[in-house]
Structures are given as structure tokens and as C-alpha cells.
Amino acid sequence: MKIYGENPDDVTDDSDKNRSFTAKPRIVQGAVIVAGVIFNLLLAWILISGTLMIGITSPADEEGGYALTNSHVMVSGVKPESPADVAGLTYGDILLSVSDGALEEKTSSTDAVSTFVSGRESQPITFTYQRGGETSTLVVTPVAGIVEGAAAIGIYMDEVGTLKLPIHLALWEGMHKTYQFTVFTATGLWDFFSSALMGNSDFSQVTGPVGIVNAVGEAAGIGFANLLLFTALISINLAVINVIPFPALDGGRLLFIIIEAIIRRPINVKVANITNMIGFALLMLLMLAVTWNDVAKLL
């Protein structure tokens, strides 16, 4: 969105100069810039609160002490090329039971699954699991060498359940989660740019438009609440990125306003425009690199 009069050269009618962006006091200009960031955070708070009212999958050891319903063991990660990976277990699968043919055991906890598997090296184990509302089975054979001193199949597990809160608690917890996600996002960006300056940044962990579209499809496929949560995370990312003091971003414009307040005169329009153009070009190069990385992941 372009603010009227942000560039003084855009104002050609003298009668409109008083309502242009640059004609306003610098504190008003700063407030307008910051308002966009605040709106992104408010939107994230509303969306996260909404997911908590609808009900969303949450780890059993999550802070807050709220009671969960429909608790179960979920696969939270799979080691590449492990027996579980080869057999077809994937992130999000809900483990219902395990059986070695002679003994069948319900998966009441992650410890129960680990104990069952660890003593059955080279013995095929049948896993009954739920994926996308459908129940299926597959056979996985534990091997040594994945974890020290025990057989394993190469999965990470979490005990999860459905967290559903009344509106007053959802709004409070939503605010807390928004703060946590904002700090986490800001820290992640700081680490990324710090690594980039040292020449060892990992672009494989960065997602652009193509990756976001793919992720939105995956989030929508596992429930409306997850789609809302993903949208909230995008909004938080936009807020944090926009506040970075870099040319062509809201944070860069805010930095210009602060500098103008200190030197008590406007920054030369040509200097500001050239700086913003260079910043925009660098952002486009970064976007192209990230998009290329997204496409490479899909191929």
C-alpha cells in the first residue's frame, strides 16, 4: 500500500500538500508507519485466539497447565533413511498401537512405545496409526545404531492432545503466544542475518512465495485451526520483517523519520529515493534466491 505524499514529488496539486504524508508532523508519520506493524500483530493475536477457541493440537507438556482432551502419541519427526522412513511413517501420524505378533500394546505414552521397540532388535513390529482420519498399519523392523544402547526405528514422538479454551482464556493465551512467536521470529531473523554477514547463512531454511503457497496447502489439509495458526505466523513474520531498519521497508522509512527529527530537516529526496531503490533491488535479489530454493525443493 502506498501512502499519499510519501514521496513529495508525487504531490503536484498545492491544495493537497497539507494532507500529504510528508506535510504531517514526524510523530504522526512515525505513528502511521508503526500502525501497520501493530495491525499485523493484532491480526495474529485474533487468529491465534481463534485457533484456541476452535481447538488445536498441542503438546501435553506445553506451559500453561491447561487440560487437554483426546491425548495420543504423535510422530513429530522421522530420521531420513531410517526404518520408519523407509516403511512410510511421517510427521503427524498418530500412533494407536504396536504389536510383535505375540503381544499388542496400546500406545499410551512415548515411553511405552520406546520401551516396546527398544527390546525388539530385528523383530518386525506392526504399527497401527491414524493419518488424515484414516487408520492403517505398517511393519517396521527396529535396528541398532540409531540410539545408543537400544534398538530404534528412527522417529521422534510427542504426547499431544486437543487444547480448547473459553474465550477469556483464549484471548489471554493468544496474547502470550503472539508474544512468544514474535520473539522467536525476531531471534531467528537476527541469527540468519548475523550468519549472512559471516558468510555462512543457510538459505534452505528460508521460505519464499512458492514455499508459502505449498505450506498453506499442507496447513489447510490438516485442519482449519492449523490454517488460521499458519496465517497468524505469516502476519507475525510480516510485522517483524517490516520493522527492520532497511531501505524499502517500513523500518527503513521509520529510520529516515528519526534521522530527520535529529537533524531537524528533511533528508534529500534524491538520496532517499536512491537508497530505497537500492534496498528494493537487494530485496528482489533475495526474493529470487529464495524462490529458486523453493522451486528446487519441489523438483
CA dist list (Å): 68 to 49, 51, 108: 16, 14, 14
The answer to whether residues 177 and 281 belong to one domain is yes
Task: Give CA angle at 62 (60, 66), nearest 5°.
Answer: 80
Task: Check residue 14 and give its pLDDT.
Answer: 57
pLDDT, residue 210, reads 47
What CATH number has the domain bearing residue 84?
Answer: 2.30.42.10
Same-domain check for residues 174 and 49: yes
189 & 104 share domain? no
Claim to verify: residue 124 and residue 226 sit in the same structural domain: no
Same domain, 50 and 89: no
Per the CB < 8 A criterion, the answer to whether 120 and 142 are in contact is: yes
Residues 151 and 27 in one domain: no
- Within a domain: 230: yes
Domain-embedded: residue 228: yes
**Structural domain boundaries enclosing 104:** 69-163
> In this structure, are 181 and 131 located in the same domain?
no
Q: Which residues have CB under 8 Å from 36's CB, separation 6+?
A: 242, 250
CA–CA distance, 31 with 160 (Å, rounded to integer):
42
Distance between CA atoms of 156 and 33, rounded to whole angstroms?
43
Whole-prediction pTM: 0.69
Residue type, 113: V
- Same domain for 14 and 158, yes or no, is no
pLDDT by residue, tens only, the chain of 299 residues: 556 555 555 555 555 666 666 667 778 878 888 888 999 999 999 999 999 998 887 777 665 667 777 888 989 899 999 999 999 999 889 999 999 888 888 888 888 899 999 988 889 999 999 987 789 999 999 999 888 888 999 999 988 888 888 999 999 999 999 999 999 888 887 877 776 666 666 555 555 554 555 555 555 455 677 788 888 988 998 899 888 888 878 888 888 888 888 888 887 878 888 888 888 888 788 777 666 665 665 55
Q: How many domains does the chain have?
A: 2
